[in-house]
Chains A and B, each alone.
Chain A
Amino acid sequence: MRSNINKCAGLLLALGLTVTATTHSAHADGEQYFPLQSYRIGPYAAGGSGFFGGFIDYLQYVNLKEGGVNNVKLTWSECETEYVVEKGVECYERLKHGLNGAPAAATNPLSVGIAYATLDRSTADKLPLITINHGRTDSTDGSVFPYAFPLQLNPYSEVSAIINYIGTESGGLEKLKGKKIVALFHGSPYGKETNGILELLAKKYGFKLTLLEVPHPGNEQQSQWLNIRRIKPDWVILRGWGVMNPVALKTAQKTGFPADHIIGNIWSNSEDDAAPAGNAAKGFISITTHPSGTNFPVLQDIDKYVIKANKGNLEDAKRFGTVYYNLGVVNGILNVEAVRVAQEKYGKRPLTGEEVRWGFENIKLDDKRLAELGALGLVQPLRLTCSDHEGGGAVRFQQWDGSKWNVISDWVQADRALLRPIIEESSHKYAKEKGITPRDCSKES
């Protein structure tokens, strides 16, 4: 009996060691840890598996090619959230303390809900909360939200850039006067977040705006598109999510609205949004902060060091270079760059979340640095500061040709000067409600 128990215990111990060895390296000394609140099952698994696949492959690539960041090896572990807020918070609490002594650098939940739910905790725990291309718009103001980073693009910048693009296509912003634009938005806080800004822009430029809500999840849109048929707009801005996107394109086709006058936002821009709509998606335009494709040196390197070495994270190798995967790679580049920048100040060692926060606030990615990273054209030039946690605010436009996205514009900048006072008004209101004294960014170094 005892022998059986010993055998079982031995087996479990061996199993435990194997599992540990496959997910992390054995030594915590000189390691920087990334807690990953990922989602690979559930309704949004396609986005989650692509994004976290790209993120992990980039971390793996830095380890394999460079031995980590200045010899500090990168480690990570995943906790499945299924995109459920409660699980996301549970994962946050479980992983925030680091792993085997390796301190946590930042959290990247890729979920507006989880980001909102862990915002206060991140501030209290001094752990950066990265919400690349999403999150609270007012968290752009780092003086009030020191630990939140809506990197590259916040929701207000998104719509501002889209209106600027429509203006250019119309022959100048002044030509927007009298044009009809419909914004078809997901019936959720995410979907509604930009309505106020669109109304402001409509007033400023004189276009006629109609806001149409699609109830979650968006698998039936007949009435909205019949309404659009009646309105006869010049453009439709699609602020979709998940199944809402292909259904919008299919229903647009059914009601005779041309796909090349629909502009998808940042969460309507993946292959998973366009491909299921088949022919109906041909000509569909969307914004992107990062082109799909594998022609960037960093992706070719990942292919060489990670994918071809059978160390890639993707279950389906065909997803290499897709929109979600590349967003994960971009996110990896920015996270690792923050660690690298922070190491220059604090020393070449594993860093605390507070130190990595400083790294994020001092990221300066110009064309030269992007070329060194092999990411020129993949990542936009970015400069973050204490007061500006977004940094970029530019997008490119891409068009679906029936099988892949093709970039059709250069970087189009949002009107950040117009948006900044609105962001500050909102962030200061939040500070007042929460009793936060904003940092004086002029004194930060």
Chain B
Amino acid sequence: MSFFFEVLVGGLLAGVMYSLVAIGFVLIYKASGVFNFAQGSMVLFSALTFVSLLERGYPFWLAFLLSLLIMLVLAWAIERWVLRKLVNRSPITLFMATLGLSYIIEGLAQSLWGAQVHGLDLGINDEPFEVFGLLLSQFDLFASAVAGTLVIILSIFFNKTRTGIALRAVADDPLAALAVGINLQRLWLIVWAVAGFVGLVAGLLWGARLGVQFSLSLVVLKALPVLIIGGFTSITGCIVGGLIIGASEKLAEIFIGPYLGGGIENWFPYVLAMLFLLVRPAGLFGERQIERV
């Protein structure tokens, strides 16, 4: 039984890491109705920028601030040259634009900073310690604390601030939002910048675990079922979805995997997500869209 709980706890902690990436998707979807396929590339770009600056001798916090600044410039460039031209276009057009952006950002990252693999030490111990016979790591607990803090800050931002409420209005109907005087360009810039910040945080945590390398952009594959389960518009849903995915994929790999030849944890979360789609298409916490026809 203790092994079961060990797997369960390990899965829950892994799930928090998935949630971190999923939050970036939700931010942009919530504010603009765009499914930002480039989120993984933003994670890669931000982490690669940070570690490259660090290796060039910049102190940690200066490297962090400069990386954040570069992410802001990237957000500005995306708003100025891509999104502004596509206002009120269909969601699929915007999705395709972010698909293109994804490749551009990945290419840009490798052109600017090279293709090498970098180690990243955030100074947080990843060695295990036992609590009631369960193995925990300081790093996992730190990642959970960061994710929890982000959720609280972003929830307050979206629900309590004027900018946050304006962002929700833009997502509901960009034309109506423009008609009441909301500055769409400024809001999109803000939300892409915040998504860049979340990408940087996720990139640093994932980078410390995987090494900063191209594969960082693939962590989005773990975020997609989280989004389907949690809902595309809920930051809290990201955390709950992450926990469900993390725990279920680990338990499935250990207890069902041997009967199916092993290696099932990549596709099992998608099975779960499909089931959720069938019974709850908007996810656990997503907003149901009702359209008049």
A: which residues have CB within 8 A of B?
40-46, 48-49, 187, 211-217, 219-220, 222-224, 226-227, 229-230, 242-243, 246-247, 250, 253-256, 272, 275-278, 280, 315-316, 319
Contact = CB atoms under 8 A, between A and B. Distances in A.
Contacts of B222: 219-220
Interface string B245-281: 0000110011001000111111100000000000000
A222 B215 CA distance: 17
B127 A276 contact: no
Interface stretch (B64-72, B145-153, B189-197, B205-213): B205-213
B117 A223 contact: no
B170 interface: no
A46 B253 contact: no
Contact of B213 (A227, A243, A280, A316): A243
Given A43-B214, A213-B263, A216-B266, A276 B3 contact: no
Contacts of B128: 253-256
A44 B218 CA distance: 13
B107 interface: yes
Given A49-B116, A254-B139, A272-B211, 20 more contacts: A45-B214, A46-B213, A48-B115, A212-B262, A213-B261, A214-B263, A219-B215, A220-B265, A222-B14, A223-B249, A227-B254, A229-B135, A230-B3, A243-B210, A243-B213, A250-B126, A254-B135, A254-B137, A254-B140, A276-B120
Interface stretch (B4-12, B93-101, B154-162): B4-12
A219 B218 contact: yes
A155 B260 CA distance: 26
B209 A250 contact: yes
B28 interface: no
B290 to A, nearest CB: 37
Contacts of B210: 219, 243, 246-247, 276
Interface of B: 3, 6-7, 10-11, 14, 107, 110, 114-121, 126-128, 135, 137, 139-140, 206, 209-215, 218-219, 222, 249-250, 253-254, 257, 261-267
A40 B116 CA distance: 10
A280 B126 CA distance: 9
A149 to B, nearest CB: 27
Best-surrounded residue of A42, A45, A187, A222 (most CB of chain B within 10 A): A222
Contacts, number: 122
B11 A276 contact: no
Contact of B118 (A243, A276, A280): A276
Contact of A46 (B116, B137, B140): B116
A242 B115 CA distance: 13
Contacts of B264: 215
15 contacts: A41-B107, A44-B214, A48-B115, A213-B263, A223-B10, A223-B11, A227-B254, A242-B215, A247-B209, A254-B126, A275-B117, A276-B117, A276-B120, A316-B114, A316-B116
A43 B6 CA distance: 32
B119 A275 contact: yes
Contacts of A187: 263, 266
Nearest to B267: A215
Contact of B119 (A212, A215, A222, A277): A277
B215 A217 contact: yes
A252 B277 CA distance: 35
Given A223-B265, A243-B210, A45 B115 contact: yes
Given A215-B266, A255-B135, A43 B215 contact: yes
Given A226-B7, A247-B210, A254-B135, A272 B253 contact: no
A215 B215 CA distance: 14
A45 B44 CA distance: 14
Contacts of A216: 266
Best-surrounded residue of B115, B121, B209 (most CB of chain A within 10 A): B115
Nearest to B121: A278
B262 A46 contact: no
A247 B222 CA distance: 15
A45 B119 contact: no
A325 to B, nearest CB: 12
A329 to B, nearest CB: 18
Going nearest first, the 10 A-B pairs with the smallest beta carbon separation are: A276-B211, A45-B115, A213-B263, A215-B266, A243-B215, A223-B253, A272-B117, A276-B119, A213-B262, A43-B214
